[in-house]
Amino acid sequence: MLKTTHFWPVFLYIMELLASILGIIYIFLVAQKKTSAWIWGILSCAIFAGLCFESTLIYQGIIQTMNVILGIVAWFQWNRGMKTVRSYPLISIVALCAFLLLLISMLVFYFNGKMTFDWVTQLDRIALLYSVVATYLTLRLIKENWHLWLLINGVTAYTGFENGLVFYAGMSLIYFIISFYGLFQWKKAS
């Protein structure tokens, strides 16, 4: 009933803006290793899950729902005093290789004119897989999570713009920038 009124699109934009602001607060606090970050992240992801399912971004909706669950787990773990940043450089190499493989395959398909499937859907699926891994690495305080987030945030910015989620895409771009800050902060802490 509500969807048929002119109010529905305005409501969606307001919710998207709210979730984006909460998400920016979350990532900034995570970069500083603040436990309260997870509360903001859970709220942001819960709102985005609803928005993504509404926009038929099924995989992003699944990602956001999984991030709510992982956020609850992380909040409990960080509340128990887990604050030591660890490093596993192999994760950075894997993230770089995955990014290069994705970029090369997109360029080959683009220049050969063989883009026969929906790239936005494919990128959405890739973001799903990487986000689950990156969120787990974040909750375990593994520094290289930031390398994966750089890749994921670039992908989600693109998929957000392609699906008309302007605030979500903008938030992903801000996340991309804050990911550099997080990497720097966690590098100092390790």
The yes-or-no verdict on residue 103 having pLDDT over 70 is: no
Output 85 or 99, whichever has higher pLDDT.
85
pLDDT of residue 145: 86
User: Measured between alpha carbons, how far is 129 from 94 in angstroms, rounded to an integer?
Assistant: 13
Three-state SS for 32?
A: coil
Task: Classify the C-alpha dihedral 127-135-37-54 as positive or negative.
Answer: positive
Q: What is the pTM of this model?
A: 0.74
pLDDT in tens, 145-181: 898 888 889 888 888 888 887 887 888 899 899 999 9
Please give the mean pLDDT across all residues of the chain: 81
Q: Are 70 and 135 in contact (CB under 8 A)?
A: yes
pLDDT band at 43 (very low <50, low <70, confident <90, very high): very high
Give the mean model confidence (pLDDT) for residues 25-38. Answer: 93
